[in-house]
Structures are given as C-alpha cells and as structure tokens.
Amino acid sequence: MSSATLESILDRHARQGVRLMQILRETQEALGWLPPEALGEIARATGLTRAAVESTANFYSFFHTRPLGHYRVLWSDNITDRMLGNQALMQALCKALWLQPGRVSEDGLVSVDTTSCTGMCDQGPAVLVNYRTVTNMNLDRVQAMAALIRARVPVAEWPEEWFQIADNIRRAGLLLDCPLAPGAALAAGLARGGAGLLDEIRTAGLRGRGGAGFSTAQKWQSCRDARSPAADGARYVVCNADEGEPGTFKDRVLLTRCPDLVFEGMTLAGLAVGARRGFLYLRGEYRYLLDALEAVLARRRAAGLLGASIAGSNFAFDIEIHLGAGAYVCGEESALIESLEGKPGKPRIRPPFPVTSGYLNCPTTVNNVETLASACLIAAHGGAWFARSGTKVSTGSKILSVSGDCAHPGIYEYPFGVSVQQVLEDCGAQRTLAVQVSGPSGVLLAPDEFERRIAFEDVPSAGAFMVFDETRDMFEVARNFAHFFAHESCGFCTPCRVGTAINARFMDKIAAGHGSRDDLEQIFRMHRLMQATSHCGLGQTAANPIFDTLRKFRPSYDRRIESLHFEPAFDLDAALSRARRMTGRDDPAAHLTNEHQP
Amino acid sequence: MSKKLKVATVSLAGCFGCHMSFLDIDERILELIERVEFDRSPLTDIKTCGPCDIGLVEGGVCNSENVHVLREFRDHCRTLVAVGACAITGGLPALRNPLDVADILEEVYHSRPGLAKGAMIPNDPELPLPLNQVHPIHEVVKIDYFLPGCPPPADAFWKLLTDLLAGRTPSLRHGLIQYD
Amino acid sequence: MSEPSHFKLDGEDIPCRPGQTVMQAAQAAGRYIPHLCWHPDFAPHGSCKICVVKADGRTVAACTFEARPGMQVENRTPEMDDHRRRLLNMLFVEGNHFCPSCEKSGNCTLQATAYELGMANFHFDHFFPDRPVDASHPDVMLDFNRCIQCELCVRASRDVDGKQIFALAGRGIRSHLIVNSASGRLADSNFAVSDRAASVCPVGVILKKRVGFAIPIGSRRYDAAPISAEAQPSPPPAQGERP
C-alpha cells in the first residue's frame, strides 16, 4: 500500500486514538483489508498500543485482518431474508462462483458469507457488496452479479437500480409528514431557551423510542445537571442510529426522509443539556447514507443551523457522523460510547450512567433517532400539542418497521396505542401465526394476544414488527435468533458469552433431530440464568425468543424431540466417518446406530 | 439384612487408575462386599453387564466399543456414575481433540518414520474405530452422579457408595471433591 | 465520625460506608462472596458474574453494586450458588481445563471456587477449542486453554506495570487474550517475570517457568482448607481514612 494513503487518512483524523474506528474503516476501504503493517503504523501514529488497535479491529464484523477477496458479498441473514429465500440464492451465487460460503476463492477474488440483519427486511433478500447495500435479490441478479464479479467489474459500475433503496412509507403520522422547514424548530427552541425547551419536552411526556421508554426530559435534565470533568465543561449529544435490532429499519427511513428533523433534534438536545458537540452513530450497514447525510450537515452549516453561532445566537453546536462496523451490541448506549472512543463495543459498568459519565467521561445524552426527531417537533409545536397524540403514558407516535408475511411491508407510523390486530389488517397480513414485536430481544405474540397495544404500558417496541403466517415454523425463527445473539454477544460476561453459544448449540441439536425433553428443561434454566446474571440487555434478553416460542409454540419443538430423556448432541455414526474413510471399512461394526434402543 | 445391591464397574478410555484408587478403600472392601455384589467389573472378570443398581464408569468415550459398553451400562444400571477426570471431561485422551483423527491415523500407522515397510492403517473389523473426538460420557448417555478426580480419592469412592447404599444423595465435602 | 451503617448479608449485619461495594464491605467483614475477576488491588471489572447476589430482590454483581444501609443481600443461598455453579460450568467447558496436568492445580482460584460450590461435573457439552500455547518467553509461558477472560492481567499490566501487554480481542465465544507485540508472541513484548501481571492470573494461563509442581499435593494453597476459609476480617481503617 502507499504509505501516503495511510498518512492522509491519519492526518484527516488528527492521529487521534478516539477516531480509531474511522481510521480503520477508511484504511480498509483503501486497501481492501487491514494488513498487520497498517495496524502497526496506525498504533504508532495514534499512540495506542498495537494490542489495542488489534482489539478493536478484531471486534467488529466489518473489519478484517486477513484478505477476504476483492469482492465481499454478505447476505443479510435475518429470518425475514430467510423467508424470502436468501439461503437458496446464496447457494446459487456460491455455485456460480465455484466457492464455499465463508471461504475466499482460491484466486483471492471473492468471498461470500452471511451477516446480521442489514435493515432491508421490507425489500429483501438483501446483500452487502463491499459494504454497499443491494436489495431485492433474485436468481437473475445472482447470475448477473456472478458474471460481473468474474469479469472483475468494479462495484461502482454495477447496475444502478440494484442499489436503489425504497422508503416504502405506507402510513405517515406526526413525524413522517415532517412539515417543518429546517431551522423552524431551532428558532422556537432558541426563543424558549434550554430550560424552557426542557419544560416542553417534559410536558410532552416524551419517552425514548429505542425500546426502554426512559423519560427524555429526565435524561436531558440529568445530563444538564451533571458536573463535567472537562476544563471546558464539555457535554455531548449522541444520536443512536445503530439500528441493529433485526427487523428494524425505521431510523433508516427517518434519516433518508427527514434528516433535518433528526439533526435539528440533536441540536436542540445540545441546547437543552449545554453541549457543543454531537455525534450521529450510524450503523456500518447504512454506509450508503453517509455522503447524503454529510451533505445535509454541510447545508445546515452553510445556513447557520450548525456551527459557532447558530441562527445568530451565542449557541454553538456541531455534529460529526461516526460510522459503526457491524456490532449489534453498540446499540447499548455505553457500548456505543466505547465504540465512539475507538474501542471494542463492550458495555460499561453502570452506574455511572452516560448522562453523568459518558463520552470521554463527560456527561452524555444518548437518544434514539426517532426520539430526537420527536423532540424537534415538540420544540416547534409545544409539548401539549405532542401529548394530544398517543395514550396518556405513551405520548406521540411510533414508527413501526413491518416485514415478513404481509402484502405491504414497509413503514407505518401510528399514534401510540394502536393494536397489533390493526397493524396486521393495515399491512395486509393473513392467517397470521405470530408477530415478533421489537425484534428478537422483544416479545413474540400469538394470535390470542393480537388485541394488545403498542405502547409502553402494554407492548413496548423499538420498531420491529415481523409477521409470520401459518406456513412458518416458529422453531426455525427462534433458531435463527439464537444464532444471531451468539454472533453478536460481545463476550464480556460469562453468561452471555458462553450462554448464547450453548443456546445456539441446543437449537442446532434439536434441529438435527437429536433433541430430548432434557434439552428443553436446560433451555428454560439457561433463560433464567442469562436473564438474571448478564451484564447488559443483550444477554438478559438473548434467550427471550427461545423462551417465548417454547411457551407459545411448543409443538414446533415437540415434533422434533427424539427422546423423552436424553440424546447426544452429535451424530455418533457420523463421528466414525473419518476413521471409516482412513481404514476403508464399511462393515457393520464400523457403524453406530444413533437411536439408542435398549 | 436386605438384599445385596448389584454394582458394575468398567474403564472405557481410561487408565484403570480410578479402579486402583477404588481398591485403596482397603479393608473397607470387606464391609462393602457384605452389602453389594459385583457384576461386570475388572474385579470379577464378568464380561457382560446384567441388571444392576449402580454402575461406575471410568474413562471417556474414544471409540465405537466405548459407545457400546457405555450404552450397555446405561441400559442395565439404575444409577450410573461418571468416575474420574476422563469420564467427566474426556481427560488426557481428549487432548487429541483439536487434531483431525484422520491425520492421527495417517501419522501413527502410515507416514511416521520408523514404521515397517508397507505399514498400513489397520482395518480389521475386530478393531473398534476411533471417534472424531473423545467425549466425556455425559455427552453420550444420561449420567446420574459424578465423582471427579484423577483419580478420585478412595475416601470419595467410599463416601459416594455409602451415600448411595443408604439412599442419600451423594455429596462430597472439601478434600473429597478434587479434579486432579 | 458517625458509626458505620449496616446492611444484611445472609441475615448478618455487615458494616458499610458510602461508595463501598457489597464485595468490599463483605471482604472487610471477613465474609466470603465467591468471585473470580474481582481482586482487592484493582478496579472492579464485573465480567465473570460469579459474585452474583440478590440485593433487595434484584440479582446484581456484588463487585460493582454499591452497598446501601438497610439493604438485604442474599449470598450463599441455593439459588445464587446454583447460578454460580452454572457459570463455573460455562467457564470450564468454553476452555480446555484439564486439571490433572495443570501446574496451577491446587493453587487455582477457578478450581478452588468450583470445589467450594461442590461442582462435581461440567454439565454442558465441551467446546474443545484449539488454543495453541505461547512458550516463547524465557521465564513465563502462556497457556491460553485455561483463560477465563477475567482481565486481571490486562488490568495489572496497564494499571500497575504501565505496559499494556495484554488485551482481549475478538467477540463472543471467539473472544481471546492477545499480547502486545507485532508477532503476537510474549517474547517479543517487554514483559518481565517481575511484572505484577506475571503473578496475578487466577488460573493457569500465565505460568512462571521452572517452578511448576514445586509444592507437593497436600501443601498447596487450597488443599487443606476451602477458599472460603481465606476470608478474614480486616482491621478497621484508622480515623478519617477512606479505604
């Protein structure tokens, strides 16, 4: 590699260790991978240890410290992609390219693998090609893609329509109608002042849209009141656009349709808490949004809506975009902050919470994209206006990302309190067997629960709404989620690191026909253990989908159960296969029956 | 005096060290023999296991014969106890697990220097085939109790057996529970 | 100075001061809460979760949870010890822990904690990971097969030795300990046998060479008495001193 390329990347980021993620990403974009010499050079330039650089480079799925081909094709592997046939398509692509999933072709040209949900569930199956999103994959596209790869056509020259991403807004409400002109809410906010703005947010009853539903006013107040250890009293606003929960894609659409609403919400948050800097933490899967969002930021700076003296006031605020690199756990706010600081995304010990000790140990408010967009509306129209929508304790609107078995997948914005049944009717779902609300870490609802309402007081949701009809096998849904969590566990705490891996093995064991009642009992116990002892929400909720399906869709397990008591997890006869091959034996004594019949 | 309980013991992929340690209960074996009768065991030289109350299994599962014997024990023993580090963890034989068994066979019987000319990997149907990996016995059949140690101390054997004979759930205090 | 406040640990009064964790307060009072990644000389880490306790009905890590006066804490209850045994099972099956051949046996905190909790088996299926050892350094060898990812060596090297020789890399079950050198080998780092990190490993990963098996069985640290017997009340701090 030309060291000039790396030097210019390092210079652009002022050789700052906290900017390690961006340095690594840009280095990889330039070189195709992260060679050892580059890691050493980055360590020397930033003053980080080599081990620290390796630690970060090894943590994120989208960084690779070995070459993975000029073309890297990653198939989004959410259950919704599977339901749209991604596995057969991936096999077809591998066959066309003469390679095995997960392996780099012998000529070093291409590798094909899977990745966690890329947030294109309403237009899947989706792939990332060199981290650019392609939607609506089908057999024609697979064949054409294989030909382009074999002909070594640069991805930039591939058919433009492959990269088109639809918003699919089916029902707009408070936010998606976004009637605000850029700067309008900010003017109203500046007129009220930080404290006045906080009062409006409080009156509005705004709660966090990331799923937990914490009071936004309380969060901002705590951040505003916390003492900053920095000499300049620094505080930070972070917009959490690490939309990694499988089945969720509403932030993608908000950032596409109403980026001004989001950035203005961040600016207003800065005004409310007394911050001068904000970060948009954008998930790596949404890399394609980066240039457009940077352009919006530039336009807002030019219009005096960001920068040293906003709208002629003495309020200064600016926003940087930080791109993630494929780690679901970074949706957890303290893990996100670690990642912002250039480290592996491992959740911190809490307390202290980020509002008192966040980015660089300064008070930091981390808010969801939709929360900040809502705050912007509140600044413009007032808290009382906002509180008129939704229910008493869940005010405003909720944007749902609807996918799976329905006629019209896409984005649906409702006032809080809408029933699951209503959403199912609106999206054209028929013969529905189950709905996974708020993704794998959320709750799985069976038909007798469809009258329940999307609201913090009933079924809270971070936005995912995956529909499964009667043709679906809920065991396979849960198995897909079990593998997702095993892949995404950060590995920090014992129960999640090992528990998610054991759960995935249990599910594979049952899927392979080796399951027993004993395994089901083990799964229940594992759920209790992980819920009680895991370090963060990922581990605490990781067994939810298995637990929910076991309770509500038990027959999907029972029909696979081989024995009432105990079965080995592995195929005993297959475990003799290598020795059979080496000895050339195939006599009866060279085999073992798997069904152990006394 | 109630009917004697039947006990069977076996060593799979083990070294018989656990059995040796068992014999270290010394003269207490006379007391034991008043209350139990041994079925299949290296101590009796009985070759097949009949219906038993307690089975003690030493060693891990390394080959097809180990699987057959372990299943025979599970089928015939009301209570099955994994005895020693190899039965519980795979132990020393499991150190081969990161290696491919095909490579091991090739190296040991075919390509290693010093073998007789034309040496081949043995393929006699009388020989049990090795499994791809060595497994602890609880990964192959359901195990009721575990007696750890390499080997478990004689006092631990005594405690386990007297607990079982008395109908108590076995429990091992400090000094009797050990992994080395 | 006012009298210290108290909380209840398994029904017994334990003095506590503001800012003290449940673990620190229990330790000072000579009460044993099982733990692996916690060490009195280092900042709490909270990763092993062996120190789970139930504080006023909520399951928390004792090493990071602040002790509050009047709180009811359950420690050695069947439920908490059950959690601990399962967590220990997980630590044993994710690595390759073959005690009979390990130099650390008898002096190993993981093993002693498992004895304390009466762990007779590993319960889950083994992962049998392939983790090569690093014997490159003249005085110390690294056997990664036994790593429980407590990060005590990471903390000791960073906070005491000022060297940052160890770090964790990877994610999830593939998370693993790495060494800060271009080759990844310990010999190519500036690690020294006199480092605090050389003697802090609670299991048999970081082993000094030429001293293995020097202590006969029977005389090793945990042979005579269980690990819980090591907990002793510490003398009260001098007036005005903050522990």
Residue C179 with chain A: CB contacts under 8 Å: 51
What CATH number is attached to the domain comprising A39? 1.10.10
**B31 pLDDT above the threshold of 50:** yes
State whether A579 and B139 contact (CB < 8 Å): no
Which residue in chain B has the smallest CA separation from A565?
A: B142
State whether B130 and A572 contact (CB < 8 Å): no
pLDDT at B102: 96
Same domain flag for A293 and A342: yes
Q: How many domains does chain C have?
A: 2
Give domain status of residue A568, yes or no: no
Same domain flag for A267 and A383: yes
Give domain status of residue B134, yes or no: yes
Which residue in chain A has the smallest CA separation from B75?
A: A598
Same domain flag for C64 and C114: no
pLDDT at A422: 98
Residue A566 with chain B: CB contacts under 8 Å: 141-142
Give B124 to chain A, closest Cα distance, Å.
8
Residue B129 with chain A: CB contacts under 8 Å: 576, 579-580, 583, 585, 589-590
pLDDT at C1: 47
Structure tokens at A518: 């004993």
Same domain flag for C89 and C59: no
For C106, the closest of B91, B145, B180 (CB atoms) is B180
Q: Is A589 on the interface with B (CB under 8 A)?
A: yes
Give domain status of residue B73, yes or no: yes
State whether B179 and C126 contact (CB < 8 Å): no
Rounded CA gap, A7 and A434, in Å? 53
- Please list, residue by residue across A454-473, b when 16 or more beta carbons sit within 10 angstroms of its beta carbon and e when fewer do: bbbebbbbbbbbbbbeeebe
Q: Are B74 and B30 in contact (CB under 8 A)?
A: no
Give domain status of residue C72, yes or no: yes
**A566 pLDDT above the threshold of 80:** yes
Q: What's the pLDDT tens digit per position in C136-180?
A: 999 999 999 999 999 999 999 999 999 999 999 999 999 999 999
Q: What's the pLDDT tens digit per position in B41-89?
A: 999 999 999 999 999 999 999 999 999 999 999 999 999 999 999 999 9
A595 pLDDT tier (thresholds 50, 70, 90)? low
Which residue in chain B has the smallest CA separation from C112?
A: B178
What CATH number is attached to the domain comprising B91? 3.40.50.700
Give domain status of residue A300, yes or no: yes
Which residue in chain B has the smallest CA separation from C107?
A: B180
Cis-peptide, bond into residue A125, ω within 30° of zero = yes
Q: Is B133 on the interface with C (CB under 8 A)?
A: yes
3-state secondary structure A397-428: EEEEEEEECCCCCEEEEEECCCEHHHHHHHCC
Same domain flag for C34 and C102: no
Give domain status of residue B123, yes or no: no
Same domain flag for A157 and A232: no
Residue C170: how many other CB atoms lie within 10 Å: 17
What CATH number is attached to the domain comprising A448? 3.10.20.600
State whether A532 and C83 contact (CB < 8 Å): yes
Domain boundary among A339, A367, A387: A387
Same domain flag for C122 and C169: yes
Rounded CA gap, B103 and A219, in Å? 60
Residue numbers of the domain that contains C122: 83-208
Greatest distance between any 2 Cα atoms in chain C: 57
Same domain flag for A337 and A417: no
For A581, the closest of B102, B122, B140 (CB atoms) is B102
Same domain flag for A324 and A179: yes
Q: Are A333 and A371 in contact (CB under 8 A)?
A: no
Same domain flag for C88 and C32: no
Give domain status of residue B111, yes or no: no
For A576, the closest of B64, B121, B141 (CB atoms) is B64
C241 pLDDT tier (thresholds 50, 70, 90)? very low
A563 pLDDT tier (thresholds 50, 70, 90)? confident
Same domain flag for C118 and C178: yes
A584 pLDDT tier (thresholds 50, 70, 90)? very high
State whether C167 and A55 contact (CB < 8 Å): yes
Q: Is C167 on the interface with A (CB under 8 A)?
A: yes
For C115, the closest of B95, B98, B177 (CB atoms) is B177
- Its pTM stands at 0.95
Percent of chain A with pLDDT over 90: 95
State whether A582 and B141 contact (CB < 8 Å): no
Question: Mutation test of the interface with chain B: which of C92, C93, C98, C146, choosing the one with the most B Cβ atoms within 10 A?
Answer: C98
Residue numbers of the domain that contains B51: 5-96+130-166
CA nearest A68: which of A26, A37, A31?
Answer: A31
Residue numbers of the domain that contains A442: 397-472
What CATH number is attached to the domain comprising C46? 3.10.20.740
Give domain status of residue A580, yes or no: no
Same domain flag for A504 and A366: no
Same domain flag for A220 and A238: yes
Beta bridge partners of B46: B41
Give domain status of residue C221, yes or no: no
Give domain status of residue B176, yes or no: no
Residue bearing tokens 């397990």:
A557
Rounded CA gap, A62 and A360, in Å? 25
Q: Are B60 and B95 in contact (CB under 8 A)?
A: no
Packing angle, helices A184-204 and A369-381, rounded to 10: 100
Same domain flag for C91 and C188: yes
Q: What's the pLDDT tens digit per position in A207-256?
A: 999 988 999 999 999 999 999 999 999 999 999 999 999 999 999 999 99
For C118, the closest of B92, B94, B171 (CB atoms) is B171
What CATH number is attached to the domain comprising A180? 3.40.50.11540
pLDDT at A598: 44
**A354 pLDDT above the threshold of 50:** yes
Rounded CA gap, A162 and A280, in Å? 27
Residue bearing tokens 């080995």:
A568
Same domain flag for A431 and A510: no
Segment A330-355 shows an average pLDDT of: 97
Task: Give the list of residues 6+ apart from residue A45 with CB closer than 8 angstroms, or none.
Answer: A10, A15
Structure tokens at A117: 């949900």
Question: Mutation test of the interface with chain A: which of C38, C60, C153, C171, choosing the one with the most A Cβ atoms within 10 A?
Answer: C171
Q: What's the pLDDT tens digit per position in A472-507?
A: 999 999 999 999 999 999 999 999 999 999 999 999
CA nearest A483: which of A460, A463, A467, A506?
Answer: A506
Give domain status of residue A501, yes or no: yes
Same domain flag for C48 and C114: no
pLDDT at A567: 87
Q: How many domains does chain B have?
A: 1
What CATH number is attached to the domain comprising C158? 3.30.70.20
Query: Mean pLDDT across chain A, nearest whole number?
Result: 96
Same domain flag for A242 and A369: yes
Same domain flag for C12 and C37: yes
Q: What's the pLDDT tens digit per position in C61-107?
A: 999 999 999 999 999 999 999 999 999 999 999 999 999 999 999 99
pLDDT at C242: 45
Structure tokens at A10: 């390092």
For B:47-106, CB contacts with A below 8 A are 64, 67, 71, 74-75, 100-102, 105-106
A-C contacts (CB, under 8 Å):
119
Same domain flag for C170 and C98: yes
Give domain status of residue A467, yes or no: yes
DSSP H helical ranges for A245-305: 250-257, 259-273, 290-302
Give domain status of residue B174, yes or no: no
Give domain status of residue B115, yes or no: no
What CATH number is attached to the domain comprising A510? 1.20.1440.230
Give domain status of residue C200, yes or no: yes
State whether B146 and C115 contact (CB < 8 Å): no
B-contacting chains (≥3 CB pairs under 8 Å): A, C
Q: What's the pLDDT tens digit per position in A281-305?
A: 999 999 999 999 999 999 999 999 9
Rounded CA gap, A392 and A569, in Å? 50
Q: What's the pLDDT tens digit per position in A29-56?
A: 999 999 999 999 999 999 999 999 999 9
CA nearest A244: which of A539, A538, A443?
Answer: A538
C2 pLDDT tier (thresholds 50, 70, 90)? low
Residue A493 with chain C: CB contacts under 8 Å: 46-49
For residue B37, give the 3-state DSSP assignment: strand
Same domain flag for C89 and C118: yes
Give domain status of residue B151, yes or no: yes
Give A569 to chain B, closest Cα distance, Å.
7
A-contacting chains (≥3 CB pairs under 8 Å): B, C
Give domain status of residue C61, yes or no: yes
Residue bearing tokens 């081909």:
A69
pLDDT at A596: 56
